[in-house]
Structure formats: C-alpha cells, structure tokens
Structure 1
Amino acid sequence: MDTRDLAASYRLIEEMFINPSLRDGDAVVSWKQLVEASMPEVAEQVDRFLEADGSLSSHEYVSTLELSPPCPLYLGAHMFEEPSTCSGISTSPRNAFMLELSGMYEHFGFDLGSKEMPDFLPVMLDFLALSLEVGDDTLGLRRRLIEKYLLPGLPPLAKGFEKFGSVYGLLLPAIELTATEDLQQMGDVPMWKSPDEQKGNVSLNVLSESEPVEMMNDMNMPEVRP
C-alpha cells in the first residue's frame, strides 16, 4: 500500500463528514475506487454508512453536527472537561491540546487559517492526508497525533453518536482502520515527545498552556513545505 491509498482513505472519510449537499460526488467515486482496492474493509464501512438512513440527509447533518450540535465533531470537547470559569480556559488541557495541534499543522505547512478549530475531526483527517504527501515524518509527529489524540478521541465521540442514534457513528470504525494501517506503515518511527516528557517530568496526559508550540520551536524542527 502506498501513501496515495492512505490519503484517499482519509479524504473519503473526511468527505462523509461534510454536509451531504456539499459533498464532491466525483471525488468520492475516485477515492472510493482506490480504497476498495487497497483497504476493502474501510470501503465496506463507508458503504454501510451511505446505505443507512440519514447519511444523505442535510437535515440529519445539521441537527446532529452543526446547530448547537449534540455530537460536535471537535474531539477536544469529548476528551477534556470544559473549564468552569473564564479564567480556566487559558490553562485548560484542551487549550494546550489545540496549541499542540496548531504547532503540528504549522510544521507541515498546513495552513488552517481562521476557518476552523484545530481539533475539528475533518481538519485532523485532512491534515493526516496532506502530511502523507510532503515527505517522511522522521520526528514522529503524525504518530503522536494518531496515538495520543485521534484514536483516544474516537470512543467518547462514538458514545455521543450512539446516545443520539446518529448514523455518523458508522464512520468511526473506518477512521480507526485507516489510522491503524497508517501507524503500521510508519514502521519503527517513535512518537514525538516533548523535552519534559522525555525526562519523565510530565505525564503524556498533561499539557501546559503554552508549551506545545514553544517546545517544537526549542527542538528546531524544520519546516516541511509541500
């Protein structure tokens, strides 16, 4: 399997998390053909989703994922408790999580701009696809995103989808299959760790407010541009 197949799988799933009225049908067909040949289990899971009631409904999409969504696609909302005070926002684990994601995106030249939050699931999938196309990740940043954030964020998101009976829960196994294959393709490249994590001074589950981006700069990580 080459990186094109993995990228196609990420993009196919990402497209399913777009409002059905805005999905690119031609691109879906193209990506699906690649995925059917390289990862048939992922293609089958996407087919299950597309055949289910609500998968093509804009009303289902908006009511579940957009307007005051019961199941927001922001993984941080499911992984971290919301701060109880305004002053707690800047020091919350989710804020540090967002800063770290932004640092990863910047390292690979992935310009998020102001269009979405870094922990928006389709953005994370888009990044994983794009970063496959800019060269090998010898630092282990992609592994860190997948192992520490993407995969751990899927179970709580799945509970939300199950609670509200959302058809979009059918896509989560496809993400897990793709991400697991991605990790296997990385070989023995270890997950990137901050200097403090390497020293054992910080738990992998604890992030400070401003460390992530600063730590990456401290390590002089080179920019990778497509």
Structure 2
Amino acid sequence: MRPGERRKAARELADAQRALTYRLAAAVLEYPGEEQRALLPDVRQAAATLPEEQAAAITGVVDRLLAWDATEAAAEYVATFDLKRRHSLYLTYFAYGDTRKRGVALVEFKTACRTAGFEIVSGELPDHLGVVLELAAQAPEVGIDLMLRHRAGLELLRLSLLEDGSPWAGALTAVCATLPALSGDDREAVARLAAQGPPEEEVGLDPFAMPSTGAHR
C-alpha cells in the first residue's frame, strides 16, 4: 500500500471509530429499558474495536448497567439525570437554563438537524446529547460543531458525573476523547459554568415542551 493510500485508510478508520464511539455513547445514555438491555452485549463487543481509552470508558458503563437489574438501572438513571441540574443531558440547558434564550438555541439545533437531513425519531428535543451524538455519527461536521459550541456544558457534565462516581461518566469520557483539547477560553468557560451553574430564570420555552433537566420517561 502506498503512503497516500495508508494515510487515507488511517483517516477512514479514525472517522469510522469516532462515529462508532458516538453511536455507542448514545446507546448507553438512553433511558434503561428492555430494548437497551438487550443491546448491551453487542455494545460491549463493538466497543472492543475502539481505541483503548474509548473502549474502556464505554465498556465500564455497559458492565455497570448489566450488573444492575432493570429497576435499579432505571432508578439510578432518574436520580442521575432528572434530579441534578449539572447532570442535564440537554446541552443548551447549561448555557441558558430555562430562559427565553434557550428557546432560540433549540431552534438552532433543530435547524442544524434539518439542514443535515437528520430526522429525530426518538421524540427527544434536538439538543439532547443522545440526539446530537447520533447526528455527529451521521453528519460529523454538523454534530461535532454543535458539541464544540456547547463544549463548556459538555465538559461540566463529564466532570460532574466523574465527581459523583456515576458510571455514565464513561460515555462522556469517550465522547470528549474524540474532541480537540480544551483551549484556554474553553477552560475558563468551564470554570465559570462550574462556579455559577446554569441560569435559573424560568420562562416559557414555546414551541418546545420539555423537562427542565432530565430525560425522565
């Protein structure tokens, strides 16, 4: 194989592994149920094909989910993502909380999905991390751009989950490992967000109806 062909093959492999990382992270971040549980062995097998850091991170989440029974997994999920503001799976929540500005940001996410030809079939809002990860797997330029624009929230979610010892931190670790290293400005934004938290003003978010912080079913 010629050098140019090797470089092309390496890029294609890296792109495929990145897309797989996003799909597997989205899968383990779903609300625990019978359908997800049935897929977990396949998720674990697929994770073994990823680079070491991502593989270990995803596998850790899978193993913990499989160690719980269905009731325990659901209860842990609700306690983690529905009851703690810093654990929101909705990326725009970190920047705007439940304020009117968030409604505008949600429209931007929805427009990005439409522009990429991506259809949301889960019924979630367009800024839900699972939706954004599926978008990034299919249309990386669009999905990754959205994550980078909300990098501070993504990093705060990762750090908060790690601090609380949540198994779902592995999904965020795997995702963030695919993104560029944090710049100085990004680090400052994460520090500010960690100190201040999401805005608390609550106003209407029409035309979107949503839970404030979680993904409770």
Matches within 5 A, 1:146-225: 146-149=147-150, 151-162=151-162, 164-180=164-180
Aligned-pair CA distance for 1:112: 2.3
5+ residue gaps, structure 2 = 1-12, 182-217
Measure the CA separation in 1 of the matches of 2:14 and 2:92: 30
For the aligned residue pairs, the C-alpha RMSD in angstroms reads: 3.1
Matches within 5 A, 1:1-226: 1=13, 3-24=15-36, 27-52=39-64, 56=68, 57-66=73-82, 68=83, 70=85, 71-83=87-99, 89=100, 92=101, 94-112=102-120, 115-131=123-139, 140-149=141-150, 151-162=151-162, 164-180=164-180
Q: Deviations over 1:32-64 (max 9, x none)?
A: 444423422111012223344897422111232
**Quick check: 2:44–2:62 contact (8 Å CA) kept in 1?**
no
Identity in percent: 22
Measure the CA separation in 2 of the matches of 1:38 and 1:162: 21
TM-score with structure 1 setting the length: 0.59
Measure the CA separation in 2 of the matches of 1:15 and 1:104: 22
Amino acid at match of 1:153: G
Change (3 A) 1:114 1:51: closer
Measure the CA separation in 1 of the matches of 2:36 and 2:63: 17
TM-score with structure 2 setting the length: 0.62
The aligned length equals 164
Aligned-pair CA distance for 1:174: 0.8
5+ residue gaps, structure 1 = 84-88, 133-139, 182-226
Aligned-pair CA distance for 1:142: 4.0
- The aligned counterpart of 1:208 is none
Measure the CA separation in 2 of the matches of 1:104 and 1:169: 26
Amino acid at match of 2:92: G
